[in-house]
C-alpha cells in the first residue's frame, strides 16, 4: 500500500505529465501514444461522396504532434487537404459529363462523351482518382490511334481534372505535367476563282434551286448552317443586308425513360435513344433554340461575334430576287430562303449530297462545304481587306474579342464584299 513517505519510490511514466485530463471536444481530432512510443494525431474528414477518411500526423513528442495536428486542421479548414474517396477516374468523368451537359451545346457534349468512352476509360478509367499520376495519362495518350485523338484525351482530361481541383477533390491536376500533343491541322481546301465560277455555272444549269445558295456562300463566307437556316424575314432587300443570327442544325433526342441502370442498360430496354418510346429533347437552358421540323432546330451562334448583319452585293441581291420569284408558288411553312419544293427544310446530310453532286458535275475534287468559307476568307485577305473587317464579315472571334469590342462600320464590309465580287465574278461565266 502506498504512503506519502514512499513517494520517492515511484517514477512517472514518460508523457504522463503531458496528457491533458480534459476530454477532447468533437472536431479536435484524436491524440494518442502508440506502443512503440510514437505520438499520433488524427482528424476525420469526408469526401465528396460522403465517405469518411482519416488523416494522421506523427511525432516523437506530444507537443510536436499537437503542433502538427493543429497545422493539419488549419489546412483542412483552408481546403488544402483533399479527400477523394475510392472513386476511379472513369467514375469522376461520368459525373463531370453529366455536370457539363446543361452548359454546352449538344455537339460539344458528344465530343466529350465520345472521348471519354472510346479513348480514356478503356486505358486508365479504372485508376483511382487519388492515385492518378502523369504517367497514367501519358500512357493513355501514347495508346491513342491518331495525333488528333491524343490531343482530345489531353484536352478532355485536363478540363475534367481542373474541375476536380476547383471542387477540392484533387490537390493538383496531373495533366499539367504533360505537354499537349501536337496535331498537324489539315490544310484547308480553297477554291480558285475559276473553280468557283465553274461551280456556279454548273449549279445554274443543273441545280437552279441551289444556285443562289452556293453563290451566297462564296460571296459572303457564311457558314453552311447559317445559310441553311436563313429565313426571308431576315433578308432586307431595301438595305441589301441579311441577318445571320441563327443556324439550322440537326439535334438528337435522348432517353426519357429514366436513369441508366448500373449495368449500363436503360429502363426501356433499348440501347439507342431514338428507339426509346419516351425519347425527349435535352437542350441546355442557357442557349436559345427554335424548333423547325423533325430534328432540325434553329440555334444561336456560339459567340456574339457570330450574330452579325452582312451586306448583300448587287449581283447576289439580283439572284435572291429571282430565287424568291421562282419559288413564290411553292409551300414554305418555315419561311426558309432555300428549301425543297414541298416546303421541307434541307437537312445537313441532304445538303452535303447536293454539294458532292455539284462538285462531281463540275469536275472539281470532293472538298468540304467549308471550302467556300475558306475561299472567301483567303480572297478577302489577298485583296488587302483589314483584319477587323474580315472578322466582321466572317463572324470570327480572335484576340480582339478579349479586349474591347470593335465595331466595324458596314460601309467598310460592303466595300470589301463588293471588291470580292469584282474579283470573283460568278455570273459572267453563265451569261
- Three-class DSSP labels, the chain: CCCHHHHHHCCCCCCHHHCCCCCCCCCCCEEEECCCCCEEEEEEEECCCCCEEEEEEEECCHHHHHHHHHHHHHHHHCCCCCCCCCCEHHHHHHHHHHHHHHHCCHHHHHHHHHHHHHHHHHHHCCCEHHHCCHHHHHHHHHCCCCHHHHHHHHHHHHHHHHHHHHCCCCCCCHHHHCCCCCCCCCCCCCCCHHHHHHHHHHHHHHCHHHHHHHHHHHHHCCCHHHHHCCEHHHEECCCCEEEECCEEEECCEECCCCCCCCCCCCCCCCCCHHHCCCCEECCCCCCCEEEEECCEEEECCCCHHHCEEEECCHHHHHHHHHHHHHCCCCCCCCCECCCCCCCCCCCHHHHHHHHHHHHHHCCCCCCCCCHHHHHHHHHHHHCCCCHHHHHHHHCCCCHHHHCCCCCCCHHHHHHHHHHHHHHCCCHHHCC
pLDDT values of the chain reduced to their tens digit, one per residue, 431 residues: 444 444 333 343 444 444 444 455 545 678 898 888 889 888 877 655 556 677 788 888 999 999 988 888 887 776 655 555 568 899 899 989 988 888 888 888 899 999 999 999 999 999 988 889 999 999 999 988 888 899 999 999 999 999 888 877 777 899 988 888 886 665 667 888 888 888 999 999 999 999 999 999 988 889 999 999 999 999 999 999 989 989 999 988 888 888 777 777 888 888 888 888 888 887 777 778 899 999 899 998 776 656 788 888 888 999 999 999 999 999 999 999 999 999 999 999 999 999 999 999 999 888 888 888 888 888 777 778 777 777 777 776 553 332 332 344 566 777 777 777 787 888 654 34
Structural domain contains residue 14: no
For 128, the domain range is 89-177
Q: Which cell numbers in the block locate residue 212?
A: 443562289
Cβ partners under 8 Å of residue 352, min gap 6: 369
Structural domain contains residue 22: no
Give the pTM.
0.64
State residue 188's pLDDT score. 63
Structural domain contains residue 368: yes
Given a contact cutoff of 8 angstroms between Cβ atoms, the answer to whether 324 and 180 are in contact is no
With cell 504522463, the residue in question is: 16
Cβ count within 10 A of residue 175 = 22
Domain check: are 265 and 369 in the same one? no
Structural domain contains residue 8: no
Q: CA 54, 58, 60 angle in degrees (round to 5)?
A: 155
Structural domain contains residue 188: no
State residue 408's pLDDT score. 47
Asked whether the CA dihedral 46, 51, 54, 55 is positive or negative, the reply is negative
State residue 429's pLDDT score. 42
Structural domain contains residue 9: no
* The domain boundary residue, chosen from 18, 48, 82: 82
Domain check: are 130 and 269 in the same one? no
Domain check: are 393 and 367 in the same one? yes
Cβ partners under 8 Å of residue 317, min gap 6: 237, 240
Q: What are the backbone dihedrals phi and psi of residue 390, each rounded to the nearest 5 degrees, phi first? A: -60, -40
Given a contact cutoff of 8 angstroms between Cβ atoms, the answer to whether 379 and 220 are in contact is no
Given a contact cutoff of 8 angstroms between Cβ atoms, the answer to whether 140 and 153 are in contact is yes
- How far apart CA 39 and CA 24 sit, in angstroms, is 16
Structural domain contains residue 16: no
Domain check: are 99 and 143 in the same one? yes
385: domain CATH number?
1.10.443.10
93: domain CATH number?
1.10.150.130
- Distances in whole angstroms, Cα of residue 112 to Cα of each of 94, 115, 119, 120, 154: 10, 5, 10, 11, 11
Structural domain contains residue 1: no
Q: Which cell numbers in the block locate residue 287?
A: 442557349
Domain check: are 157 and 132 in the same one? yes
Given a contact cutoff of 8 angstroms between Cβ atoms, the answer to whether 252 and 296 are in contact is no
* The domain boundary residue, chosen from 152, 177, 202: 177
Structural domain total, the chain: 4
Domain check: are 149 and 223 in the same one? no
Amino acid at each position: 500500500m502506498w504512503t506519502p513517505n514512499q513517494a520517492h519510490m515511484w517514477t512517472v511514466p514518460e508523457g504522463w505529465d503531458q496528457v491533458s485530463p480534459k476530454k477532447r471536444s468533437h472536431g479536435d481530432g484524436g491524440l494518442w501514444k502508440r506502443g512503440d512510443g510514437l505520438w499520433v494525431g488524427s482528424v476525420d474528414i469526408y469526401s465528396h461522396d460522403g465517405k469518411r477518411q482519416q488523416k494522421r500526423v506523427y511525432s516523437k513528442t506530444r507537443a510536436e504532434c499537437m503542433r502538427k495536428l493543429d497545422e493539419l486542421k488549419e489546412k483542412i479548414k483552408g481546403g488544402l487537404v483533399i479527400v477523394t474517396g475510392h472513386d476511379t477516374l472513369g467514375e469522376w468523368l461520368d459525373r463531370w459529363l453529366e455536370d457539363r451537359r446543361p452548359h454546352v451545346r449538344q455537339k460539344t457534349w458528344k465530343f466529350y462523351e465520345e472521348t471519354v468512352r472510346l479513348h480514356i476509360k478503356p486505358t486508365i478509367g479504372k485508376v483511382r482518382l487519388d492515385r492518378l499520376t502523369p504517367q497514367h495519362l501519358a500512357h493513355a495518350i501514347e495508346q491513342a490511334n491518331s495525333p488528333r485523338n491524343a490531343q482530345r484525351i489531353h484536352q478532355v482530361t485536363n478540363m475534367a481534372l481542373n474541375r476536380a481541383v476547383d471542387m477540392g477533390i484533387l490537390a493538383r491536376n496531373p495533366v499539367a505535367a504533360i505537354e499537349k500533343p501536337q496535331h498537324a491541322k489539315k490544310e484547308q481546301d480553297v477554291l480558285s476563282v475559276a473553280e468557283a465560277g465553274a461551280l456556279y455555272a454548273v449549279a445554274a444549269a443543273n441545280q437552279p434551286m441551289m444556285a443562289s445558295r452556293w453563290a451566297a456562300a462564296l460571296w459572303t463566307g457564311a457558314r453552311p448552317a447559317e445559310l441553311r437556316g436563313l429565313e426571308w424575314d431576315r433578308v432586307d432587300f431595301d438595305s441589301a443586308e441579311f441577318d445571320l443570327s441563327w443556324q439550322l442544325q440537326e439535334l438528337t433526342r435522348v432517353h426519357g425513360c429514366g436513369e441508366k441502370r448500373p449495368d449500363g442498360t436503360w429502363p426501356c430496354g433499348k440501347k439507342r435513344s431514338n428507339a426509346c418510346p419516351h425519347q425527349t429533347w435535352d437542350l441546355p437552358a442557357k442557349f436559345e433554340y427554335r424548333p423547325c421540323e423533325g430534328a432540325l432546330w434553329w440555334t444561336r451562334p456560339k459567340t456574339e461575334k457570330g450574330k452579325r448583319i452582312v451586306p448583300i452585293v448587287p449581283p447576289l441581291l439580283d439572284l435572291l430576287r429571282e430565287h424568291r420569284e421562282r419559288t413564290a408558288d411553292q409551300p414554305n411553312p418555315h419561311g426558309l430562303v432555300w428549301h425543297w419544293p414541298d416546303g421541307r427544310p434541307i437537312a445537313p446530310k441532304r445538303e452535303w449530297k447536293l454539294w458532292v453532286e455539284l462538285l462531281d458535275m463540275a469536275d472539281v475534287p470532293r472538298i468540304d462545304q467549308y471550302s467556300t468559307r475558306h475561299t472567301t476568307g483567303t480572297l478577302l485577305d489577298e485583296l488587302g481587306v483589314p483584319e477587323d473587317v474580315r472578322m466582321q464579315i466572317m463572324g470570327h472571334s480572335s484576340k480582339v474579342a478579349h479586349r474591347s469590342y470593335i465595331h466595324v462600320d458596314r460601309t467598310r464590309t460592303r466595300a470589301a464584299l463588293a471588291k470580292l465580287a469584282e474579283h470573283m465574278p460568278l455570273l459572267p461565266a453563265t451569261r
